[in-house]
Amino acid sequence: MKCPDKIIEWMHDYLDGDIVPDHEKALREHLQHCPECSHHFNSLKKTVAFIQHASHLAPPSDFTKNVMAKLPKEKKRVRIGRWLKNHPFITAASLFVALTVGSLFTTWNQGQQFSVSTRENVVIQGHTVIVPKGKTVDGDIVVRNGTIKIEGKVNGNVTVIHGEKYLASAGQVTGEVEEINEVFDWVWYNIKSVVKDLFE
């Protein structure tokens, strides 16, 4: 007797785990009195068991290392980012130092251009400020990146940052005369002015 094809189909549905209950019942009944199909079914089940129990080989222990070694180089940005993440204290400290030093240098180097705090009663020639003979400047003078020549009179302090001062013999300054050419002087000057501002 030739069994219908659907019997074999049901066997596979059964093995896939999605046989409908009616078919399952019919399949069971058929297998009970058909040794040929029963043998077919058993050999299928055995086959599946063999495949499922195939022993699994593990990849070599250096597998991951080898894969990682063959990957294209990662972006530098990410590598630095990870390093920073792993060293939060150093990051914070160096950030602080960098900002402090950076801000000092930028203010020190900033404005290479010439400037003078007052224009009254002075003559400006290029980067030189001249307080002419017989003239009087009331108040402080601050000159940046330039030279000051005092031939007249200044009623106040004279400060020269990044520059030179020439006091003619006839020149007169009632306040202090200061020349700032170094970073530390600059810092000191800034601190002094901040403190002065606080008290005034």
Partner 1 sequence: MDMFVKKRIKAIQKGDQNAYAEIVELYKDKVYRLCYRMLGNRHEAEDAAQEAFIRAYVNIDTYNPTMKFSSWLYRIATNLSIDKLRKKKPDVYLDEEVRGTEGLTVYSQLPAKEASPEDTVESLELQETVQQAIEKLPEKYRSVIVLKYIEDLSLQEISEILDLPIGTVKTRIHRGREALRKHLGHL
Q: Is 60 in the site for partner 1 (CB under 8 A)?
A: yes
Contact of 129 with 143, CB cutoff 8 Å: yes
Contact of 145 with 161, CB cutoff 8 Å: yes
Spatial neighbors of 200 by CB under 8 A, at least 6 apart, are: none
Rounded least distance, CB 58 to partner 1, Å: 6
Q: Which of 32, 38, 43, 107 binds partner 1 (CB under 8 A)?
A: 43
Q: Is 74 in the site for partner 1 (CB under 8 A)?
A: yes
Rounded least distance, CB 148 to partner 1, Å: 56
| Token reading at 67 | 């894969």
Among the residue ranges 36-44, 108-116, 117-125, 180-188, the one whose residues contact partner 1 (CB under 8 A):
36-44
Q: What angle, rounded to 10 degrees, do the helices at 21-32 and 35-52 form?
A: 120
Spatial neighbors of 40 by CB under 8 A, at least 6 apart, are: 8, 11
Q: Would you tell me which residues interact with partner 1 (CB under 8 A)?
A: 8-9, 12, 15-16, 18, 40, 43-44, 46-48, 50-52, 54-60, 63-64, 66-68, 70-72, 74-75, 77-78, 82
